[in-house]
Amino acid sequence: MSTMPKPLPLYVVKEKSRHGRTKLFFRIGKGPRVRLPDDPSSKAFKAAYKTAMKGEQVEATIIVERVRSLRWLVQRYMESAEWSGLAIATRKQRGLFYRQVVDASGNVDCRTVTARDIRNGLERRKATPALANNFLKSMSALFKWALVHEHVGVDPTTGVKRLKNKSDGFPAWTDEDVKRFTNHWPIGTRERLAFEMLLTSGFRRSDIVRVGRQHMTQAVVRIRTAKTGTPVTVELSDRVLDLIEETQTGDLSIIVGKKGMPLTKESFGNWFREVCRAAGVQKSAHGLRKLSATIAANAGATTHQLMAQFGWVTTQQAEVYTKGADRERLGIVTSRLVSEQIELITAPHPEKGAGIDGKNRSKSNR
C-alpha cells in the first residue's frame, strides 16, 4: 500500500531543471527565489530554510552540492529508477542511514571512500549488530548502483564482512504459545483467523494484509511477496477455508480492521502484538512465521520447498530450518546407534558351558 509523500514546508516550491534534476527553492509570492538543498530532511536544508524564513541571505556553502560528493551521489541514487522500485519501508530505512552519512561526511568525494571507512561505520554500530549489518547492506546498494553507472571506479563495500549476530531475532512460537492463543481467541474472531492464516501460509505481515479472494483459486493462494517480488503459492486447508467463511473479512483483503477496512503492515503488526499480549503470548507475527517454517522443516520439507512457500530467494535462510531439522533427526538416530553399541558392550557375557564356547563350537562344526 503506497503512502502520500510528505508535503514541502511553507513557501518551498519544486522545479525541474532542463536536465531533469529536481531542485527546491524558497519563494514568498513573487519575491526572489532562494535555492535550497535538495533533501528536505537534511540538516543543511533545515538550516537554509530557517535562514530564508528570517529574510536573511542563505550562505552559498549551505546549498552548494559538490559533484561526486557523497551528498551528490545519494541524491542521484534517490532520483534513480532503482530507488523508486524499492519498498517504502526499505527506502525509509536506507534513507536514515544515508542522512547520517551525508550529515557526517556529505562533502567527501564518493570516489575516495574506502573499505576501511565502511568497516569504521560498522564498528560505530557494533552495539547493535543487526543495525550495523543493515547499514552495510544500505551502503552496498548505494555503491553497487554507483559502480554500474560509472560514478565510482571501485565498490568499497566489496569484501567487508557482516558482523556476527548472536541473536536469533524474533523468537519462534512454542506449542504452549499456540495453546494459549487458541484457548483465548475462539473460532469466528478476526484474531483467530489472522493466527490461522499466518501459521498455515507462513506469510510475512506485508503479505498477509494484502491477501484477498482475488489471489485465490479455490484453496490455492498465489501472490508476489511485497518484500522481494517473489511469487509464492500455498494451499489453504479446508479448516482455514471454513474459518474464512465464518469470520468477518473484507472484499480485497481477508484480514481487516474492526471497521472492515484493510490494514497496513505496521498497523497489523501493532494490532497482532496486542492480541498476543491479551492471550498471554509474548511473541509476534514474525515469530509465528518462524514456527510455520520449523513445522515444515521438521516434517521433511526440502530447502527448495521452503523457498517456494516462504518466498526466500536464496537457500541460506531456508537452510537455517532444514539444517536444524536434519541435525535433530540425525542426532536422534545417532544416539540410538550409540545406545545399541553400549548395550552390546555392557551386556553380561554367558558363563562357560551355558552357551556356545570353543569346545561346543568345534563339535558343531563336525
Q: How many CB atoms lie within 10 A of CB 47?
A: 16
Residue 113 burial class via C-beta count within 10 angstroms: exposed 0-12, middle 13-18, buried 19 and up: buried
| CATH class given for the domain over 70-148 | mainly alpha
pLDDT (0 to 100) of residue 363: 47
CATH topology of domain 175-310: hpI Integrase; Chain A (1.10.443)
Q: What is the rounded distance in angstroms from the CA atom of residue 192 to the CA atom of residue 117?
A: 49
Where in the chain do CATH 1.10.443.10 domains reside? 175-310
22-26: strand order across its sheet: 12-16, 22-26, 34-36
Where in the chain do CATH 1.10.150 domains reside? 70-148
216-217: strand order across its sheet: 216-217, 220-224, 231-235
Contacts for 91 with CB less than 8 Å, ≥ 6 apart = 83
Taking a C-beta distance cutoff of 8 angstroms, is the pair 25, 33 a contact?
A: yes
Taking a C-beta distance cutoff of 8 angstroms, is the pair 292, 311 a contact?
A: no
Give every residue of the chain whose pLDDT is below 70, as ranges: 1-5, 17-21, 59-67, 166-169, 324-330, 334, 347-366
Q: φ, ψ for residue 199 (rounded to 5)?
A: -70, -40
pLDDT (0 to 100) of residue 1: 42
Taking a C-beta distance cutoff of 8 angstroms, is the pair 287, 173 a contact?
A: yes
pLDDT (0 to 100) of residue 325: 65
Q: What is the rounded distance in angstroms from the CA atom of residue 141 to the CA atom of residue 306?
A: 27
The half-sphere exposure of 306 on its side-chain side, counting CA atoms within 13 A, is: 27
